[in-house]
Amino acid sequence: MKQTFVMPAILLAVLGASSNAMAADDKLADAIQTRQAGYKFMAWNMGKIKAQAVDGSVAFNKDQVLSAALAIKGIANSGMGALYLPGTDTRSAPVKTRALPDLFDPKNTPERNKIGQNFVQQANKLADVAAGGDQAAIKAQFGEVGKACKACHDKFREEDKK
Amino acid sequence: MKQTFVMPAILLAVLGASSNAMAADDKLADAIQTRQAGYKFMAWNMGKIKAQAVDGSVAFNKDQVLSAALAIKGIANSGMGALYLPGTDTRSAPVKTRALPDLFDPKNTPERNKIGQNFVQQANKLADVAAGGDQAAIKAQFGEVGKACKACHDKFREEDKK
């Protein structure tokens, strides 16, 4: 009889540990998917600004460009750093991510913060410039935001890394 | 010899049609995934406001609540209606969506617009109230935004439909 009680206890312990691991993985997966959602939504809005103020493939509409810039500004200022939890890099993440381990390395904290703060500043400036409605100024500042995005992609994102 | 040239031509035509269908599907899938990204990012920010101003499970921080409310406002005002392309409902979409065909039915346009406009208004009001920093007022307006979300979920989203 002892065996029959010991076995379920071990099984329960294993299942319990597995269930805790699952909950932790869910939390990490959700953080990754939430930051990806933020970037995807910003990219959509960058695309609208590009089409209207840079390429001219869509007629320039000041209100639409401003709305797009404000969406980017709102997302950029929402504290996305909190979504970069330990265990969410390419080496350890439970779901697909392109965030390289270097991004989480404490020795890179100053550079990471500088890149992140510059991105927020450039996004804020894009919203200010968009409110002015000057298409040439929006085009120029769109370029600055693009450079700010690329600074992080080049350094800390898989595939784009040189 | 004729056959060998006719066959590739047919194959190319088939491949071309298939490729066009794929490109169209990609566009629809991207629209669906972009709107889902917007809702996911808003949900993350709603969660932060809930934790700080409603449940009190996290200490109230006026700046963080305001940032969250501004992210929601920015996304809500970005013209997400453009992401509801024909062919992106539960019956016809190339990827998983919960947007019911009723949402796309022209007879529901007035109700859909009313629900959408109310959501934007309530999100704008949440940002205004958050700027004031009154926790009780934020809690009350958070409830109004939640109701505005639910109005659409109850009527036009799979699973939550009564």
The pLDDT of residue A3: 46
In chain B, residues with a C-beta closer than 8 Å to the C-beta of A67 are 77-79
Judge: A74–B72 Cβ closer than 8 Å, yes or no.
yes
The residue of A32, A39, A42, A44 whose CB has the most chain B CBs within 10 angstroms, and thus the best one to mutate to test that interface, is A44
In chain B, residues with a C-beta closer than 8 Å to the C-beta of A34 are 40-41, 44
Distance from CA of B117 to the nearest CA of A (A): 15
The pLDDT of residue A105: 97
The pLDDT of residue B110: 97
The pLDDT of residue A158: 96
Give me the long-range contacts of B107-114 (CB less than 8 A, separation at least 24).
B108/B156, B111/B155, B112/B156
B162 in helix, strand or coil?
Answer: coil
The pLDDT of residue B10: 54
Q: Are B117 and B81 in contact (CB under 8 A)?
A: no
Q: Are B45 and B68 in contact (CB under 8 A)?
A: yes
pLDDT exceeds 90 at position A87: yes
In chain B, residues with a C-beta closer than 8 Å to the C-beta of A33 are 40
pLDDT in tens, B52-107: 999 999 999 999 999 999 999 999 999 999 999 999 999 999 999 999 999 999 99
**The Cα angle at residue B104 between residues A38 and B113, in degrees rounded to 5:** 75
Query: pLDDT above 90 covers what percent of chain B?
Result: 83
The pLDDT of residue A16: 57
Distance from CA of A35 to the nearest CA of B (A): 8
Q: How far apart are CA A45 and CA A41, in angstroms?
A: 6
In chain B, residues with a C-beta closer than 8 Å to the C-beta of A81 are none
**Mean pLDDT score across all residues of chain B:** 91
Q: pLDDT tier at B17 (50, 70, 90 boundaries)? A: low
**3 state SS for B106-152:** HHHHHHHHHHHHHHHHHHHHHHHHHHHCCHHHHHHHHHHHHHHHHHH
pLDDT exceeds 70 at position B115: yes
ipTM here: 0.88
Q: How far apart are CA B103 and CA B105, in angstroms?
A: 6
Q: pLDDT tier at B8 (50, 70, 90 boundaries)? A: low
The pLDDT of residue A4: 47
The pLDDT of residue A159: 82
Q: How far apart are CA B112 and CA B156, in angstroms?
A: 9
Chain A residue at shortest CA distance from B75: A71
The whole-number average pLDDT for the span A119-138 is: 98
A118 touches chain B (CB under 8 A): no
Q: How far apart are CA B122 and CA B116, in angstroms?
A: 10
pLDDT in tens, A30-43: 999 999 999 999 99
